[in-house]
Chains A and B, each alone.
Chain A
């Protein structure tokens, strides 16, 4: 087949890019080679638009064993233990087929983690849907949630935390980000870098079918009206096979037979083989006749570009094939030597004794295009909202509006569909600031949370970027964990648009600043561009997934009030920042102005002081303040316990709505025993912490003097109604 412009475009390549391909090859590629270039050079694999910005992120620290660049990041949690984690997007496939899209998203991220030698111990997800009233939303929500559950439950890894948000910006482009966390031994981490000549390249796992051919290009292409018609062969997840693959790989990893291992993710066999070879500075030769195929008459093109799930590529030490095969036989999985490492520095593809494709590895990897795309700074609206000019409402009504809104409703409808307890190490499940997972057989635990704030990022990307890192850090701190490192999933619109590219650059600037200041490095991540339809881009939605350490396990801190008549303290300064608040959005449909300012010094100080208090057992319960402000936080502490609270009216601040609903950062609400007040205050003063004693807990009622009195059982009902009636 002669390659023409149409074919080039169909492969998602620009004509200039095709010219570079010819230059690199010093000839015209054949169709197979073109397909391989298109897979490797698209945004998803090459990071061509994002790379120069990603380079700015802090990725180092004493806690970091492996930063970005491998299948997942690795951090040190003391003793011989390491935690391996990463987040990844599966947005476009999930919009087309929500169940399978979400399921295979979970499957893919799990492989990234167990490829590195870690047993997965927790799953998280961040899912964003369009407006609840949009016709597609309900079935997408249903499909995505049961897909996530379907995969995680079957494979037997608890899904312990996440976030679920609705915003019309996602009407035609939902976000499904899945994060996996695994536990490994520090000295038993496996990498993808190939080493040595003439080593066997082994294919293990499921057979290759015509699944998602060009899925990687699809993931990087904008939707248009026809995309529902295009219907690429959807990848179907097979969690059962993944479970077998995971057990088999972990079993093989017990001895020293693996040189390098890499899962087949986006762009399947192509990207996995190229990645191993390029990292090792080697060539690789594949005999495609050997590839286990599910369908008859599959072509080299199809084999190289198939995105069939539950497959891995392994490079083995000499003479280990037999032993290794035994393990895969035991688990009823294919195990086939399909090639070897070479010194040619080429990817060489043979089929029926003929070379059907030959490409220099570096042309696919290091010489892939790199763009410094134009970007523009955001011109943020600095509008101030004057609450007094708005229609008068009662605090109670405003609070009910928030607690019963889709975004703030209790998520049990979702989380009850996930097995959160399997593996018997889940100490704290969904519903708290962060989930807490014990390290098996150990007296320590990790805390995990994922967070995003698209509205903040839209209105002022730098602040928004900083804010999510802080919120994530705060969520871990609130359960008594020392935050260690993050992974991030950067969901943005079309990078060829300079405003979108600006949102990207500035969000990253904010993330970088916060991570640097908090010593909270980025160890892995994923970029998803082209989220949008017909030139309508989604709001910038970077998602942060954080991992923290609880060194010595006692009962972790949860956020429900524990006792009657204990003291409630607000940590951090309240300015009453009401712009971009949930209060204005839910009650007045106003989304305007700047997000709350982020003060990294206060953030760090307040959080570290809170950890000190926790380590001296002075805290009964704690909850960070985020969307919805102080009163929403207090309500959440009340509605899951039998205790309410009696809160004083603010003395200084003029406007009571700004005080109770403002979303100023770096704040927490804590509950302490009366008798401990002097000790706690002393620690606050020593550490220069601004705090206010705002009230006490009491039985059954949440109360603000003269303003509000509401039964906690009613609060619970209000908070649960929306999902149950949706």
Chain B
């Protein structure tokens, strides 16, 4: 499997995701945002960080970069796209995913391990997880408060496009287990064609026992065919 990681000025989880991908046997290439051609890849990752400082709106400026046009083309032709944290924000800014990520409800940056539940394990990104499996995974963001309009929300539910929801240790999905105010506790969603996943939690931080746990591993192994 070939992967590409797009690097913007201000990306800062690019090395982390590259390490995780290589550990999972992806053949990975880093792609600088000024480039106009993408190497042939089965998976494109837009990593976390603060592209362009997250100035204006998080993800907005990266959403206008040269390389993004290529990403959009690849997405439309069915390439798998994974946006993590800032990557998710960039995907919503480009319109590849619907909705938006607002400031966390407490207006503070939040970094901690939270629990998420696998709602849909029937996607290319999540098939190695069990349905309703509870994962412990790190979040680190200022703007992770997912918001979308009622119609799209219904669509997300009806078409089973919600992959992860925030929950507590025992799997309860409620306001208390919602760290950032996301609508319906949403932590990660797919597009209708199910080839694009955007998620706020950081699976790349959960692939090494000595650092954390290995709850992120199956996301990457799901992608390996």
Listed in ascending order, the chain A residues whose CB lies under 8 Å from chain B are 146, 149-150, 153-156, 238-241, 243-244, 330-332, 412, 415-427, 438, 553, 555
* A424→B9 contact, CB < 8 A: no
* A422→B13 contact, CB < 8 A: yes
CB < 8 Å neighbour of B211 from A243, A417, A427? A427
CB < 8 Å neighbour of A239 from B20, B50, B205? B50
> Which 7 pairs from chain A and chain B are nearest by CB?
A156-B12, A240-B53, A154-B50, A419-B140, A424-B16, A419-B111, A417-B109
* B15→A417 contact, CB < 8 A: no
* B9→A422 contact, CB < 8 A: no
- Chain B residues 69-118 with CB under 8 Å of chain A are 108-112
* Distance between Cα atoms of A170 and B12 in the complex (Å): 36
26 contacts between A and B (CB under 8 A): A146-B109, A149-B109, A150-B109, A153-B50, A153-B111, A154-B53, A155-B12, A155-B50, A156-B12, A240-B9, A240-B52, A243-B9, A243-B10, A244-B9, A412-B112, A416-B108, A416-B111, A417-B110, A417-B111, A418-B111, A421-B111, A421-B140, A421-B212, A423-B15, A425-B211, A438-B210
* Distance between Cα atoms of A153 and B144 in the complex (Å): 15
| A149-B109, A243-B9, A416-B111 as given contacts; A424 in contact with B53, CB under 8 Å | no
Classify chain B: how many residues form its interface, as a range: 20 to 34
* Distance between Cα atoms of A425 and B204 in the complex (Å): 12
Chain B residues whose C-beta falls within 8 Å of the C-beta of A420 in the assembled complex:
111
* Distance between Cα atoms of A438 and B112 in the complex (Å): 19
- Which of B50, B109, B138, B204 is the most central at the interface, judged by chain A CB atoms within 10 Å of its CB? B109
Beyond A417-B111, A422-B16, A424-B208, 20 extra complex contacts between A and B, CB < 8 Å: A150-B109, A153-B50, A154-B54, A155-B50, A156-B12, A156-B50, A238-B53, A240-B52, A331-B9, A332-B9, A415-B111, A416-B110, A417-B109, A417-B110, A418-B109, A421-B202, A421-B212, A423-B16, A438-B210, A438-B211
Looking at the assembled complex, report how far the CB atom of A422 sits from the nearest CB atom of chain B, in whole angstroms: 6
* Distance between Cα atoms of A146 and B142 in the complex (Å): 11
Looking at the assembled complex, report how far the CB atom of A302 sits from the nearest CB atom of chain B, in whole angstroms: 26
Chain B residues whose C-beta falls within 8 Å of the C-beta of A412 in the assembled complex:
112
Looking at the assembled complex, report how far the CB atom of A480 sits from the nearest CB atom of chain B, in whole angstroms: 13
* Distance between Cα atoms of A555 and B211 in the complex (Å): 9
Listed in ascending order, the chain B residues whose CB lies under 8 Å from chain A are 9-10, 12-13, 15-16, 19-20, 34, 48-50, 52-55, 108-112, 138, 140, 142, 202, 204-205, 208, 210-212
Looking at the assembled complex, report how far the CB atom of A450 sits from the nearest CB atom of chain B, in whole angstroms: 19
For A555, the closest partner residue in chain B by CB is B210
Looking at the assembled complex, report how far the CB atom of B200 sits from the nearest CB atom of chain A, in whole angstroms: 13
Chain A residues whose C-beta falls within 8 Å of the C-beta of B109 in the assembled complex:
146, 149-150, 153, 417-419
CB < 8 Å neighbour of A426 from B34, B48, B211? B211
* B12→A243 contact, CB < 8 A: yes
Looking at the assembled complex, report how far the CB atom of B88 sits from the nearest CB atom of chain A, in whole angstroms: 16
Chain B residues whose C-beta falls within 8 Å of the C-beta of A155 in the assembled complex:
12, 50
Chain A residues whose C-beta falls within 8 Å of the C-beta of B19 in the assembled complex:
424
* Distance between Cα atoms of A156 and B111 in the complex (Å): 13
* Distance between Cα atoms of A419 and B85 in the complex (Å): 13
* A146→B49 contact, CB < 8 A: no
* Distance between Cα atoms of A418 and B48 in the complex (Å): 15
* Distance between Cα atoms of A243 and B34 in the complex (Å): 17
* Distance between Cα atoms of A192 and B205 in the complex (Å): 37
Chain A residues whose C-beta falls within 8 Å of the C-beta of B108 in the assembled complex:
146, 416-417
* A553→B210 contact, CB < 8 A: yes
* Distance between Cα atoms of A244 and B49 in the complex (Å): 13
* Distance between Cα atoms of A251 and B112 in the complex (Å): 32
- Which of B12, B110, B112 is the most central at the interface, judged by chain A CB atoms within 10 Å of its CB? B12
* Distance between Cα atoms of A420 and B16 in the complex (Å): 13
For A152, the closest partner residue in chain B by CB is B109
For A412, the closest partner residue in chain B by CB is B112
Looking at the assembled complex, report how far the CB atom of B76 sits from the nearest CB atom of chain A, in whole angstroms: 29
* B211→A424 contact, CB < 8 A: yes
Chain B residues whose C-beta falls within 8 Å of the C-beta of A240 in the assembled complex:
9-10, 50, 52-53, 55
Looking at the assembled complex, report how far the CB atom of B213 sits from the nearest CB atom of chain A, in whole angstroms: 12
* A421→B138 contact, CB < 8 A: yes
CB < 8 Å neighbour of A424 from B49, B55, B205? B205
Chain A residues whose C-beta falls within 8 Å of the C-beta of B138 in the assembled complex:
421
